[in-house]
Amino acid sequence: MKGHLAKDHAKNGILFALPWIIGFSVFLLYPLVQSLYFSFTDYSVLRPPVWIGLKNYTNLLQDEVFIKTLSNTFLFAALSLPAGLVFSIGLALLLNTKVKGLAFYRTLFFIPSIVPPVSLAMLWLFLFRGDGGLVNLVLETVGIRGPDWLGSPEWSKPALVLMGLWGVGNAVVIYLAGLQNVPQALYEAADLDGAGPWTKTWNVTLPMISPVIQFNLVMGVIGTFQVFTIPYIMFSGGGPDRSALFYSMYLYDNAFVYQRMGYASAMGWVMFLIIFALTMIVLRMSEKRVHYGS
């Protein structure tokens, strides 16, 4: 009787999992194996792939544009991730002070983060204009002559970072929820020990939300390498001096503009390895610092 039930369970289990078993095989495993194979071939859609060994990978190392996109992407991550982290946690901490009108502020901060990326790109193309864009007008009122944000290689990335900060509401909501989960008793204990607000923030609040920070950092690393839509729309051809040509954009160009599918696949695998390595680094770095509670 029991054996019969287990068998029933097994049959149903497989049946219910069937969509994913198919999806996993067709849209994940098979493309993954195939792209690994393509990465060792010269493949241009019109002709069948020809095996060329490691040539795509060695070519990547000599491809100046590739190196440029790699450094652009790392630089952008190095600017945008810490800035986003500090700004979102800062706002979340302010909102967590039992301030009146919390829901109202939270909604205002949140709305920009749900603006579709294409609209977002249009809006900021308009705001960052060199000839009388709103950003520079505001800077002018405080006596700063704003740069040509989108037209100069030095300012294209900072412009994207600022746009990213504007869309930080999503992270604010996540951190705020994390902050609200910190047990009140810990603060009361800290009060008894005579801890001031700064001490409490450093020694109670931040350690308690460290798993959330870690998770968001990992997702941020993965996300930055896949940044595509906004720079693709705002900087056709990668912007001034290719300063806004990011990894995924060059991968897309290779695959669908230059029809170098083998090369693009190799880029995909390099991206995969980089993301994997960075994720491991983030996880290990925070291993000691992250506090998981009990």
The number of residues that bind another protein (CB under 8 A) is 106
Ranges within 108-127 binding another protein (CB under 8 A): 108-112, 114-119, 122-127
Smallest distance from another protein to CB 184, Å: 9
Among 216, 217, 239, 245, binds another protein (CB under 8 A): 216
Closer CB to another protein, 28 or 285, in the complex:
28
Per-residue three-class SS string for the chain? CHHHHHHHHHHHHHHHHHHHHHHHHHHHHHHHHHHHHHCCEECCCCCCCEECCCHHHHHHHHCHHHHHHHHHHHHHHHHHHHHHHHHHHHHHHHHCCCCCCHHHHHHHHHHHHHCCHHHHHHHHHHHCCCCCCHHHHHHHHCCCCCCCCCCCCCCHHHHHHHHHHHCCHHHHHHHHHHHHCCCHHHHHHHHHCCCCHHHHHHHHHHHHCHHHHHHHHHHHHHHHHCCCHHHHHHCHHHCHHHCCCCHHHHHHHHHHHCCCHHHHHHHHHHHHHHHHHHHHHHHHHCCCCCCCCC
Among 189, 256, 258, 283, binds another protein (CB under 8 A): 256
The answer to whether residue 229 forms part of the interface with another protein (CB under 8 A) is yes
Smallest distance from another protein to CB 62, Å: 21
Closer CB to another protein, 16 or 51, in the complex:
16
Smallest distance from another protein to CB 87, Å: 9
Ranges within 147-206 binding another protein (CB under 8 A): 166, 169-171, 173-174, 176-178, 181, 187, 191, 197-198, 200-201, 204-205
Ranges within 22-61 binding another protein (CB under 8 A): 22-24, 26-28, 30-32, 34-35, 38, 45
